Structure 1
Amino acid sequence: MDIKEQITQLEADLQELSSLLEKSERKRVQDVLQEEQKKVEKELATKRQQQLQQAKREADPSAVSKAAYTVKITSYAWDQSEKFVKIYLDLKDVHKISAENVEVDFTERSFSVLIKDLNGKNHQMTVLNLLQPIDEKDSYKKVKTDMLLIMLKKQTTKKWECLTAVEKQSKEKDKPSVDENADPSDGLMSMLKKIYDDGDDEMKRTINKAWTESQDKKKRGDDMMDF
């Protein structure tokens, strides 16, 4: 099976997975389907990249010997409008190279970028598992002065909290849990303990003094802690 057929099969797999995901109702089933969807999207992006490289080699065999090395794009900015998520890539002189050297591929949940022979290097970026599905047919790129703008067309006008589902999961994992039934004084004591543990000798003496004075006031019937 050649690479073109492999891509066709992967695209069909992705379409069927998306269809199954829309119909599924069980959380466990959805998790399995989403995980498989991410694997297929990653493999599809890789195969498309290989296809582009193969086409280039066939069109210009001499290009193999003079091919630039590839670096990953790791820095970007993004914002959004009602209809689009906008990705900004700062790339000096990108507007000076041939438009054919700037390639962006879209799937429903990902996009990949390949900029060839820019200042002696290829620049590559792949973002998988977007937070919300996009309309790949209406998504597009714009080359500006020293910048590549990628326009991801939203399927719905829902506001995105972050760019990818992975970022969302990471934020939720790091978010401290709040027990609504907990005694508020417990939180204060935990905070004071942390300040005490992390503080220097002067800080510890201050907290000890405040605590002692507070306990003395309680014994005298005054419940206020005067720090």
Structure 2
Amino acid sequence: MEELQKDLDEVKQLLEKATRKRVRDVLIVEQRKLETELANKQQLQAGESVHKPSAIVPPMSSAYTVKIHNYGWDQSDKFVKIYITLNGVQNVPAENVQVQFTDRSFDLLVKDLNGKNHAMTVNNLLKSISPENSSRKVKTDTVLIMLRKKTESKWECLTQVEKLTKEKKEPPSLDSDGDPSAGLMNVLKKIYDEGDDEMKRTLNKAWVESREKQMKGEMDL
């Protein structure tokens, strides 16, 4: 830019001394070219100074989400307590530990812990809870979720699915005719009648899949 400015100044000096029209025309064209080139360079330099960062900031890495599968639980008369072990969770900002409660479920999301997001969803809780009175606490390497029971009663397990699995493993009670399959159907019917809409959809899906496998086996025979 400094050299361009010197060239432009010299062309202006020659233009002042020139007396021939043809010479003046040539100098005027050269003057305009130099002025345009100088203006473009000044504009480019100004743009770089505006957009150039004062310091190099490394791009933030987008954390991926991992599912939490391991947890422990306990209960008192009023609360079901869920214990989730996450190393260093006490070091993340409080707003990074988020829990959403519904009448029969909860969702936990811990953001940006050791470069990862950690998520846990539990649906079909065994019994109803009070979302507005449920909460979470962050302790050293642990998140404690407090589910406020709607009614003070002992929970056999945490979810309806666990209860169904447990009852499937137990020998079904026999009916008056001594038919084990009828006893099993009675157990399933009881769970279906007592379950919520999601549990009923789960049982219906399982029944349809069982019938499809049975029909396929008969066709193969």
TM-score normalised per structure 1: 0.50
**2:66 equivalent in structure 1:** 71
Are positions 1:144 and 2:127 aligned together?
no
Match of 2:83 in 1: 88
Residue in 2 that maps onto 1:225: none
Percent identical pairs in the alignment equals 59
Give, in whole Å, the separation in 2 of the partners of 1:179 and 1:110.
34
What corresponds to 1:201 in structure 2?
none
In structure 1, the partner of 2:166 is 171
Any unmatched runs of 5+ in structure 2? 1-58, 178-221
**In structure 2, what is the Cα distance between the partners aligned to 1:89 and 1:177?**
34
Task: Give CA deviations for 1:168-206 in whole Å, capped at 9, x if unaligned.
Answer: 011111111355989xxxxxxxxxxxxxxxxxxxxxxxx
Separation in 2 of the partners of 1:129 and 1:178? 25
Q: Aligned AA for 1:143?
A: V
Give the corresponding residue for 2:184: none
1:89-130 superposed Cα distances (whole Å, 9 cap, x missing partner): 000000011001000000000000000000010000000010
Q: Does 1:98 align with 2:93?
A: yes
Structure 2 SS opposite 1:137: helix
Structure 1 counterpart of 2:125, from 130, 134, 138: 130
SS in 1 for 2:163: helix
Return the alpha-carbon distance in structure 1 between the equivalents of residues 89 and 60 of structure 2: 23
5+ residue gaps, structure 1:
1-63, 183-227
Tell me the residue number matched to 2:51: none
What letter is aligned with 2:117? N
| Distance change (3 Å), C-alpha of 1:91 and 1:167 | same
Residues 43-102 of structure 1: per-residue CA shift (max 9 Å, x gap): xxxxxxxxxxxxxxxxxxxxx962201000000000100000000000000001100100
Q: Calculate the TM-score normalised by the size of structure 2.
A: 0.52
Distance 2:175 2:127 in 1: 31
Cα distance 1:181–1:169, how it changes in 2: closer, same or farther (>3 A)? same
Q: Which amino acid aligns with 1:163?
A: L
For the residues of structure 2 that align with 1:72 and 1:179, how far apart are their CA atoms? 41
Aligned residue in 2 for 1:111: 106
SS in 2 for 1:124: strand
How many corresponding residue pairs? 121
Note the alpha carbon deviations across 1:7-48, whole angstroms, 9 max, x for none: xxxxxxxxxxxxxxxxxxxxxxxxxxxxxxxxxxxxxxxxxx
Partner of 1:187: none
User: Bigger radius of gyration, 1 or 2?
Assistant: 2
